A and B are shown apart, each in its own frame.
Chain A
Amino acid sequence: EMQLVESGGGLVQPGRSLRLSCAASGFRFEDYAMHWVRQAPGKGLEWVSGISWNSVKIDYADSVKGRFTISRDNAKNSLFLQLNSLRLEDLALYFCVKGRSSGLYGVLDFWGQGSLVTVSS
């Protein structure tokens, strides 16, 4: 059974950092692109970042470019998101999402339950 389990969320002050992790199981993690998508309270879904199967291709939403860094460890079936210089507007539930192909263009086909990041002073 496919599973994506996020962790690392929590309460953090503006300007501080946080690192999210996603543990994948039930599929060949190394074959697929992975993404982070977030949902702020009462808002819709927003794509944050994506990484290709071999980490060669990485893209970010303009809203997080220069502050967030996506990475993966295929040997450990894990995806990461380093969140730096956090802002109040980064408060959201962050979903780890599997792509349907090795590149970023493939459909986002399987989602985790999410990890909540709360930014507050």
Chain B
Amino acid sequence: QSVLTQPPSASGTPGQRVTLSCSGDSSNVGSNPVTWYQHLPGSAPKLLIYGDNQRPSGVTGRFSGSKSGTSASLAISGLQSQDETDYYCAAWDDSLNGWVFGGGTKLTVL
């Protein structure tokens, strides 16, 4: 059971905008920046968003992050077939003194 809660699946059609959610509590999402990763099984996870809404260089502007209270979101605009993979949120947890992850959302592009 993951500390952060993500819906196991989401879907959208090409060109659509989809939003993936991540829920935590006051010891993690509520008090620390949220990070988002894109993970194609069998390969290395890729950093998409850090500091709630910051994009590393090289990450397309189609990805954006936001946070309100103990919930965070990853928005993907102009959905493409290559976006079909797994997405994870993460945050530092002050109570556990470690990083915690969501269970991941599998995004399907219909």
A contact residues vs B (CB 8 Å cutoff): 35, 37, 43-47, 50, 59-62, 95, 100, 104-105, 107-114
Contacts and interface: CB of A to CB of B under 8 A. Distances in A.
A112 B44 contact: yes
A105 B92 contact: yes
B2 interface: yes
B98 A50 contact: yes
Is the interface on chain B under 10, 10 to 19, 20 to 34, or 35 or more residues?
20 to 34
A107 B97 contact: no
Interface in B18-51: 32-33, 35, 37, 39, 43-47, 50-51
Interface of B: 2, 32-33, 35, 37, 39, 43-47, 50-51, 56, 88, 90, 92, 96-104
B44 A111 contact: yes
19 contacts: A37-B99, A37-B101, A44-B101, A46-B101, A47-B98, A47-B100, A47-B101, A61-B96, A95-B44, A104-B92, A104-B98, A105-B32, A107-B33, A108-B90, A108-B99, A109-B50, A111-B45, A112-B44, A114-B44
